[in-house]
Structure 1
Amino acid sequence: MRIGGLASGMDIDSMVGELMKAQRMPLDKLNQKKQVLGWQRDQYRDINKKMADLDTYIFDKMALSNTYNKKKVTSSGESKVTARSINSTQNYSAKIQVDKLATSTTYKSGDITKFTQGDHALEFHVTDPGNSQANPDPVKINIASTDTLDDIVKKINGSELGVTAMKEKILDSSTGEYTETIAFTSVKTGKGGKIEAADDATANFMSSSLGFSLNGRELNSLQLGENAKVKVNGFDMEKTSNQFAINGMEYTLLNTTSSELTISSETDTDGIYDTIKEFVDKYNGLIDEVNQKVNESRYRDYQPLTAEQKKEMSEDEIKLWEEKAKSGLLKNDSILTSGMNGMRMDFYSGVKSDGTTQQLTEFGISTSSVYQLRGHLEIDEDQLKQKIKEDPESLQQLFVGGGRNASYEEKGIAYRLRATMDTTMKQIENKAGNTTKSNNQFSIGKSLDDVDKQVNRFEDRMKQVEDGYWRQFSAMETAIQRMNEQSAYMSQQFGSLGG
């Protein structure tokens, strides 16, 4: 039981609080240490995220040959035929004439106004245009007894039947009544496609319930699909689709033509340059942040604020203080400095191919002469664009080289960087973990757990100390109370004698 100064008139709460404040100073230091470890962990993870973003960009762009083979394709009749380069390495020119567009097969049912609901397990064989063999895996559609025509249309559209289905409502002018039908349009164009019921039950449902006409088990078409007929550089061709590729160029037919159109391509200098510049900007952003972290000042007098200290400060003061407290937590960090040195070496070292060595500077990309920027890249736009225009294959060789498994000398810059960053990111994860790892899986996490244990032990000890103070003050209060009672008793006795 705690007695709070009723007898003595002293502010026991405040006195114990002041005594405990001195006792808690080591605990404050432990909590400050925990906060510093948490800040350090988060700073490591922020850098790792930026490295991962750069690694993804390199994988998606810089390590792909298509990045350096970008072509700007033009058509003399954009409303008739468009084209794009998909894997063409050379500039290209072609003449094309479109005599006929590819069309889809369509199917249409009879009147299904009096459709009867029921359970049905449907199976179909689908043969694509230009393919003589049916789909080896039957397309299955399960119809429930509660399904309406609209439900059936949705299920057909959501299946692999390969058609777009819709329900049509048609007014019969002679009777003034509406009839309902279902129409299928094949998703794929060209001739030769067909849909067959895989069993008699499916065939019966399609004819009796949905009103389609069948030849045996095959659905009769309303209109057969047709192939596109084109002439490319004087050669007559038939294509099942209005989109097809020839010699690394993908054509899209939009309409027929009365004469030949010209399709031509040239190196997309601006497009390739923009990709390289975006890569350099991302790399510089990473380099600049790491340089800042490993070189910023450490202010050891600015420790994390305690809750009590924050109460006495404004938000702006807290913000400025914590900026100082967070500064320099990664100063001269060996993992980061080693990783950045490795990345700089990846750029500086030439890439060998067929007995020649290419350097980054030959393409108008060099490191900044400003010492503080340490590895920051700069681009000579005119020089780089001229090199792209003249020899995009050399730029590809510089960044891609012999691929991931080539020797270091023959490995392109993109693959070198990925390997260096992979090593660095793993080292950072071993130090600071990631959101999927528990504390016991990385070194800072283990330190955090150790501090937590120390904090728990210290708080248990502080509770015992505080309880001890209260016992002493409570004993004092009890003693004073007894003395007051005795004094009052004696005063009463003396008073009675005097009377």
Structure 2
Amino acid sequence: MRIGGLATGMDIDNLVNKLMSAERIPLDKMEQERTTLEWKRDAFREVNTKLSELEALMFDMKLSPTYNAKTVSSSHEDAVIATASTSTANGTYQINVKELATNAINVSAEEIDASAISAGQEITFSTVDENGEANEYTYTVEEGETLTEVLKRVSADDNNVRMFYDEQTNKVIMETSRTGNYNERGAEIQFTANSFFSSVLKMNMDNEKGGTNAKFEYNNSGLEMESKTNAYSLNGINFEFKNTTNDSNATLTVINDVEGSFQSIMKFVDKYNEVVEALNSSQKEEKYRDYPPLTEEQKKEMSDKEIELWEEKAKSGLLRGESTISSGLFDLRQSWYSNVDTGGEYNSITQVGMKTSSNYLDGGKLIVDEQELKKALRENPADVQKLFSNNEEGASRGIIHRLDDALSTTIGRIGEKAGSTGQTLENYSLGKRMKDLNTRISDFENRLVQVESRYWNQFTAMEKAISRMNQQSAQLMSQFGSGM
């Protein structure tokens, strides 16, 4: 704590502060430059985030389901529905569901005493797996465990069985957790007659019902087919049985899912146009050179709204003129222009109802003719897929792969310039400049401490000199006074 001006009456503290304000001007400029670099780095990273989002959508644009999706309609949706793979041929399929697959179920033959269990009792049963082999399971009643608790423990295990106690009927219900007939020689859930099942749960294995396979006829072939579940895959179609068809046929019609494919492509187009807008806008933003970043002292004299408006102008145009952005935008546009040697019907995006905007201010946004694109997807989805996703080199390389190449290059260049979250300053070019500024700022701050100490020493020396002069003057005056 320094106190000055006692001898001179001068406000030394204020004088030093004003002198130091002048000395701090170069430091303020360095800190403003560092802030600008931080803003520019963050702006670059925001661009890379958008590019990465677009790159993620490109993965789906390389897959067959995007262009060859199928939709299946059913004349008996309450009985049979289905989905189809991209390789499934369009057409109609007849299914006559005669029986549904059911679970095996067994119930206590009479009311039971739920409190009749005791620690140490064993619940032992067996089920048959998909290979026809019997697997035995044993559960021991633990001390203080209720019937409900032990049955819940049995049901939670991987044994294909679930059990629960119904307090309304005072009976236990036991059933398989899967449908189908796995044991043609007897019950699905096997247990001995002199066991916990008969003595406590009052169950008889012969009372088991169900455990049947689904039975259906395909395309009036006369061949009855079976499935342990109420689902079956045939010729690329996944059928799901919900009810019997009462000896009639359910007609399932497979066609191209044009609407689904169109929406998938438009999702990508919208994201692409969003990225183009972001890149293009960054090159058109006005740069306000009279609005440098605010210093902390300047912020103290401004309201939050004033700071917000100032920084809005200060951040404007940060990426304007950056060749990394402009060249990246150019590469994206070029990816759409060249023809693709597909060997098929389509080799240009204009043939499937797509083009880039003729307005240069748009930066090359995509424009889609919905009717033309849907027509291409309906009539020849395979060649639409080739146009976009041919994974080859040279003239046969699909548009999406060309875009991916351009994106990867741009993302890499931005990464070299602005890095990514978690990277140290040494790993990217803007970071190296920031690190250099940090060193210069630290050195300058140390120098300011020395300068401030020098100012105080000089003013202190002046104070001491004037104090001595005042003392001498007072002594002379006293001597003159005593002599009169």
Name the TM tier (shorter chain): 0.7 to 0.9
Give the corresponding residue for 1:458: 444
The reply to whether residue 434 of structure 1 matches residue 407 of structure 2 is no
Find 2:297's aligned residue among 295, 304, 308: 308
Q: Which moved more, 1:222-231 or 1:37-46?
A: 222-231
Find 1:342's aligned residue among 331, 335, 348: 331
* TM-score (normalizing by structure 1): 0.83
- Report if aligned partners of 1:297, 1:328 keep a CA contact under 8 Å in 2: yes
1:394/1:356 CA distance change after superposition, 3 Å? closer
CA distance in 1, matches of 2:42, 2:128: 57
User: Could you say what secondary structure the match of 1:250 adopts?
Assistant: strand
1:119/1:223 CA distance change after superposition, 3 Å? closer
User: Could you say what secondary structure the match of 1:82 adopts?
Assistant: strand
Q: Which moved more, 1:44-53 or 1:326-335?
A: 326-335
CA distance in 2, matches of 1:374, 1:434: 26
Give the corresponding residue for 1:115: 117
- Report if aligned partners of 2:3, 2:13 keep a CA contact under 8 Å in 1: no
User: Could you say what secondary structure the match of 1:382 adopts?
Assistant: helix
CA distance in 2, matches of 1:56, 1:155: 44
User: Could you say what secondary structure the match of 1:29 adopts?
Assistant: helix
The reply to whether residue 132 of structure 1 matches residue 121 of structure 2 is no
Deviation of the 1:190 alpha carbon: 1.1
Give the corresponding residue for 2:26: 26
Query: What is the letter of the counterpart of residue 467 of structure 1?
Result: S
Find 2:373's aligned residue among 384, 387, 398: 384
Query: What whole-Å deviation, never above 9, does each CA across 1:229-277 have from its counterpart, x for those lacking one?
Result: 1122114211111122222222221112222222113222222212211
Query: What is the letter of the counterpart of residue 336 of structure 1?
Result: I
Q: Which moved more, 1:473-482 or 1:367-376?
A: 473-482
1:352/1:30 CA distance change after superposition, 3 Å? same
Query: What whole-Å deviation, never above 9, does each CA across 1:131-160 have from its counterpart, x for those lacking one?
Result: 43578xx99999976766555555555543
Find 1:292's aligned residue among 274, 277, 281: 281
Query: What whole-Å deviation, never above 9, does each CA across 1:425-454 have from its counterpart, x for those lacking one?
Result: 222222212123222222222222222122
1:308/1:385 CA distance change after superposition, 3 Å? same
1:497/1:111 CA distance change after superposition, 3 Å? farther
Query: What is the letter of the counterpart of residue 158 of structure 2?
Result: E
CA distance in 1, matches of 2:77, 2:43: 52
Give the corresponding residue for 2:453: 467
The reply to whether residue 373 of structure 1 matches residue 362 of structure 2 is yes
Deviation of the 1:111 alpha carbon: 5.4
Query: What is the letter of the counterpart of residue 297 of structure 2?
Result: E
Give the corresponding residue for 1:230: 216
CA distance in 1, matches of 2:333, 2:199: 72
- Report if aligned partners of 1:124, 1:161 keep a CA contact under 8 Å in 2: no
CA distance in 2, matches of 1:242, 1:66: 25
1:213/1:293 CA distance change after superposition, 3 Å? same
- Report if aligned partners of 2:121, 2:141 keep a CA contact under 8 Å in 1: yes
1:374/1:116 CA distance change after superposition, 3 Å? same
Find 1:242's aligned residue among 200, 222, 230: 230
Deviation of the 1:227 alpha carbon: 0.7
Give the corresponding residue for 1:37: 37
The reply to whether residue 271 of structure 1 matches residue 273 of structure 2 is no
Aligned residues: 474
User: Could you say what secondary structure the match of 2:255 adopts?
Assistant: strand
CA distance in 2, matches of 1:394, 1:261: 33
Deviation of the 1:73 alpha carbon: 2.3
User: Could you say what secondary structure the match of 2:441 adopts?
Assistant: helix
Query: What whole-Å deviation, never above 9, does each CA across 1:6-63 have from its counterpart, x for those lacking one?
Result: 332222222111111111111111111111111111111111111111111121x211
1:53/1:9 CA distance change after superposition, 3 Å? same
CA distance in 2, matches of 1:108, 1:476: 107
Deviation of the 1:487 alpha carbon: 4.3
CA distance in 2, matches of 1:157, 1:383: 56
Query: What whole-Å deviation, never above 9, does each CA across 1:352-407 have from its counterpart, x for those lacking one?
Result: 22376610010110010101222211011121122222222221221222x3xx22
CA distance in 2, matches of 1:139, 1:47: 59
Find 2:179's aligned residue among 189, 211, 220: 189
Query: What whole-Å deviation, never above 9, does each CA across 1:447-477 have from its counterpart, x for those lacking one?
Result: 2222212211111111111121122222223
Give the corresponding residue for 1:62: 61
1:142/1:297 CA distance change after superposition, 3 Å? farther
User: Could you say what secondary structure the match of 1:284 adopts?
Assistant: helix
Give the corresponding residue for 2:240: 252
Runs of 5+ consecutive residues of structure 2 not aligned to the other structure:
none
The RMSD of aligned alpha carbons is 3.5
- Report if aligned partners of 1:105, 1:221 keep a CA contact under 8 Å in 2: no
The reply to whether residue 362 of structure 1 matches residue 351 of structure 2 is yes
User: Could you say what secondary structure the match of 1:99 adopts?
Assistant: strand
CA distance in 1, matches of 2:137, 2:359: 66
CA distance in 1, matches of 2:159, 2:292: 68
Query: What is the letter of the counterpart of residue 234 of structure 2?
Result: I
- Report if aligned partners of 2:231, 2:240 keep a CA contact under 8 Å in 1: yes
- Report if aligned partners of 2:345, 2:383 keep a CA contact under 8 Å in 1: no
Deviation of the 1:313 alpha carbon: 3.4
- Report if aligned partners of 2:346, 2:387 keep a CA contact under 8 Å in 1: no
Deviation of the 1:100 alpha carbon: 1.1
User: Could you say what secondary structure the match of 2:327 adopts?
Assistant: helix
CA distance in 1, matches of 2:42, 2:428: 13
- Report if aligned partners of 1:88, 1:249 keep a CA contact under 8 Å in 2: no
Deviation of the 1:191 alpha carbon: 1.1
User: Could you say what secondary structure the match of 2:43 adopts?
Assistant: helix
Q: Which moved more, 1:466-475 or 1:111-120?
A: 111-120
Identity, % of aligned positions: 40
Deviation of the 1:165 alpha carbon: 4.5
1:397/1:208 CA distance change after superposition, 3 Å? same
- Report if aligned partners of 2:120, 2:140 keep a CA contact under 8 Å in 1: no
Query: What is the letter of the counterpart of residue 19 of structure 1?
Result: L
Runs of 5+ consecutive residues of structure 1 not aligned to the other structure:
172-178, 198-203
Find 2:270's aligned residue among 261, 281, 305: 281
